[in-house]
Structure 1
Amino acid sequence: MVATAPYDLRFDAGRLCLDLVATVGGRFSEEPVERLDGPARLRAWLVGAGVVPPGTPLDGVDPSWLARFRAARDLLHRVVHAEVDGRAADPDLERLNALAATAPPAPRAVRAADGTLVRAVAGPPDCEELVGRIARDAVELLTDPAARGLLRRCEGETCSLVYLDTSRGHRRRWCSSEVCGNRERVARHRRRVVNGRG
């Protein structure tokens, strides 16, 4: 798996659990892109995705956390894709439910330096609490008929991402218009040029 640059963290799938699945890019390509390539990247993802508020102490994030988040990500990938494909994934659902049973870290309202209230967590969270929060998001998504009905698979040729289509008319075709959509438009243009219609 290829590592990637920090700016490649994505938060455009529409749900926390889907954003975790999106931390592997091009899963079906010859060289999938690993976006969680170290503890620092996992810390950046946890804050960027809103799993924890900025300023949360994450010094305990180490390679064992990375392994647990990657395992949860692969589980979520299987469960979500099975649901989109209309297949049963009951053994994986049992594992997802077990992860979701862990209570997430308790939120607290605290005063920021400017006097406004901001969200914080009481002390450093542990890995299971954070994985549990993401698993709960997946359970909520998969058991909500309206949200589940908005799950779409990206039409990008090598893309494996599933996203929540909240676009007007629900006609979104790609996980990202800037990434997969642009690739498709460039490929279409090249085909027209090669065929003499460009």
Structure 2
Amino acid sequence: MRASTTGRVLHDPKGGSFRFDAGAVCLDFAHTGGEGPYAVFETLHEPSDLAVWLAEPPLSAIMTVPVTVDELAAAKVVRQAIWDTAHTRAAGRPLPAEAVATLNRTAAAAPPVPELAADGTTARWAPPVRSTQVLSTLAREMIELLSGPLSERIRECAGDNCPLVFVDSSRPGARRWCAMERCGNRHKLRTHRARRATGP
């Protein structure tokens, strides 16, 4: 998985879409839906939806064993654990024990095994490819993120009422917005209007 290939297009239930790069595939996965008020953003309705998401780059994990309903439910539990640990770390609070246990349990499963093609220049995931293997990869990435040098760079978007989280891997570490085209531009517009309102 390469950082340059992270990011997905997010869709607002009210209309509109924008590209959001969370800086890590596990964080991209955390934004595929959610619980409570975030259920309106759910994109993983059926097991096949999870299979399609995992098959896209950079994971490119084409399932050779169909995703089951139980595996979809388990994936959503892992997704919530990633979401919860990312937000608590961004807020500087202790990580929730249940979410940590979920990440550790998921990471304990064997990850996908890369297989070099006969031509020696391309590779794929060796079959069988199961969703549990790819979820292990996502959990391992989140564990590395939480325990690594970018741990303090996990942030929540500074936009009003925007819950999106990302890891700022830029050299200056000055990223504030989920995307400049969304919350960044909204902030600039509000600042411009405020200046005009208070100007001479």
TM-score scaled by length of structure 2: 0.76
Where do 5+ consecutive residues of structure 2 fail to align?
1-10
The one of 88, 94, 107 equivalent to 1:100 is 107
Q: When the two structures are aligned, how many residues end up with a matched partner?
A: 188
Shift in Å at residue 77 of structure 1?
1.0
Give the superposed CA RMSD: 3.3
CA distance in structure 2 between the partners assigned to 1:28 and 1:174 by the alignment:
24
Equivalences for residues 124-135 of structure 1 within 5 A:
124-135=128-139
* Distance across 2 between alignment mates of 1:81 and 1:108: 35
Q: Which residue of 1 aligns with 2:147?
A: 143
Residues 81 and 162, structure 1, Cα contact 8 Å, conserved in 2: yes
Structure 1 residue 42 and structure 2 residue 32: aligned? no
Quick one: which amino acid aligns to residue 152 of structure 2? G
Aligned residue for 1:176?
A: 179
Residue 54 (structure 2) pairs with residue 51 (structure 1)? no
- CA distance 1:182–1:28, shift in 2 (3 Å): farther
Match of 2:92 among 83, 86, 90: 86
Q: Distance in 2 between matches of 1:178 and 1:58?
A: 38
State the alpha-carbon separation in 1 of the partners of residues 125 and 73 from structure 2. 23
Contact kept? 1:75, 1:92, Cα under 8 Å: yes
Checking the alignment, whether the CA contact within 8 Å between 2:110 and 2:133 is kept in structure 1 is yes
What TM-score, normalized to structure 1? Answer: 0.77
1:9–1:35 CA contact under 8 A, matched in 2? no
Question: Between the two proteins, what is the percent identity of the paired residues?
Answer: 32
The structure, 1 or 2, with the larger RCO (C-alpha pairs under 8 Å, 6+ apart) is: 1
Deviation at 1:130, TM superposition (A): 1.4
Are the aligned partners of 1:28 and 1:159 in contact in 2 as well (CA < 8 Å)? no
